[in-house]
């Protein structure tokens, strides 16, 4: 298994931008270093460059558009521009930013061409298997959306969908790593996710909205 990856999506939470993003990044960097775990942040676009400049942890965009650079695409997010701002990778097709199949393919291809790692989010076994054909770095299975932000961990609520998604992904492409997310808040949730065959977790509110994000991060890595 690859080094476990904990990817924290800061979404648009006020607790997750500007100075707050910086504070979470500093804690994440400390804990990743002390525990030999890979921890990344997916901040809002405005925080990609400052987080890249002031920290060494991987920074992911929350979305990119499947448009080529150099064109007239007002208001679009171009993979090359995200890379130039210092991002390591990008989420694609998050549950809160769904795309068509064609858009997922184009975004993944253009991101990889730009040198970005890709995390395609999916919601069931079939979409996980389908996304594996696009050869992303990661597929993040987040079923079902009502668990998002609930504090009820997908790894406990629906372990079967995780195991079946891992199997579906690897039957198509064994090199794609799998993350899972929704309601992850503790080290026990992370341990269960890893035991179900994933390579890590994608989470948000458990860290971003915590009174003490560093304490939660410490707990998250405690059983790896
Ligand atoms: O991107 C992570 C996400 O959708 C899960 O959110 O708040 O349940 O960890 P949360």
Dist. CA 11 → ligand 1 center (Å):
9
pTM of the complete model: 0.96
Q: What is the pLDDT of residues 20-59, one digit of tens each?
A: 999 999 999 999 999 999 999 999 999 999 999 999 999 9
Dist. CA 147 → ligand 1 center (Å):
8
Dist. CA 161 → ligand 1 center (Å):
17
Average pLDDT over the chain, rounded to whole? 95
Q: Which of 8, 9, 63, 123 maximizes ligand 1 atoms within 8 Å of its Cβ, making it the mutation to test the pocket?
A: 9
Check whether 144 has a pLDDT greater than 80. no
The Cα 140–Cα 5 span in angstroms is 11
The Cα 6–Cα 106 span in angstroms is 25
Q: What is the pLDDT of residues 118-140, one digit of tens each?
A: 999 999 999 999 999 999 999 99
Q: What is the pLDDT of residues 196-208, one digit of tens each?
A: 999 999 999 999 9
| 76 a catalytic residue | no
Of all atoms in ligand 1, which is nearest to the CA of residue 202? 2
| 105 a catalytic residue | no
Helical segments of 72-158, H only: 79-84, 101-113, 125-132, 154-157
The Cα 168–Cα 203 span in angstroms is 22
Q: Which domain holds residue 171?
A: 5-220
HSE toward the beta carbon, residue 50, CA cutoff 13 A = 15
Neighbour tally for 177: CB within 10 Å: 21
Measure CA of the first residue to CA of the last residue in the chain; give whole Å: 12
Domain count, the chain: 1
Residue 103 belongs to domain with CATH number: 3.20.20.70
What confidence tier does 1 reach under pLDDT thresholds 50, 70, 90? low
- DSSP lists the bridge partners of residue 120 as 92, 139
* Residue 111 pLDDT: 98
């Amino acid at each position: 298994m690859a080094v476990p990856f904990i990817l924290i999506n800061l979404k648009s939470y006020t607790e997750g931008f500007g100075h707050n993003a910086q504070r979470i990044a500093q804690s994440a960097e400390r804990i990743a270093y002390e525990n030999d775990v890979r921890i990344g942040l997916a901040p809002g676009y405005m925080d990609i460059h400052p987080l890249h400049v002031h920290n060494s942890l991987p920074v992911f965009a929350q979305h990119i558009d499947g448009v080529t650079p150099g064109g007239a695409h007002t208001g679009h997010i171009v993979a090359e521009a995200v890379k130039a701002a210092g991002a390591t990778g990008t989420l694609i097709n998050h549950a809160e930013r769904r795309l068509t199949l064609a858009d997922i393919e184009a975004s993944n291809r253009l991101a990889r061409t730009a040198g970005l790692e890709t995390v395609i989010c999916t919601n069931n076994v079939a979409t996980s298997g389908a996304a594996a054909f696009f050869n992303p770095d990661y597929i993040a299975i987040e079923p079902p959306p009502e668990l998002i932000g609930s504090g009820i961990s997908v790894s406990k609520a629906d372990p079967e969908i995780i195991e079946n998604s891992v199997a579906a992904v690897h039957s198509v492409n064994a090199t794609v790593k799998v993350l899972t997310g929704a309601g992850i808040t503790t080290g026990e949730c992370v341990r269960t996710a890893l035991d179900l065959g994933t390579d890590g977790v994608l989470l948000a509110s458990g860290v971003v909205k915590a009174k003490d994000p560093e304490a939660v991060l410490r707990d998250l890595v405690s059983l790896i």
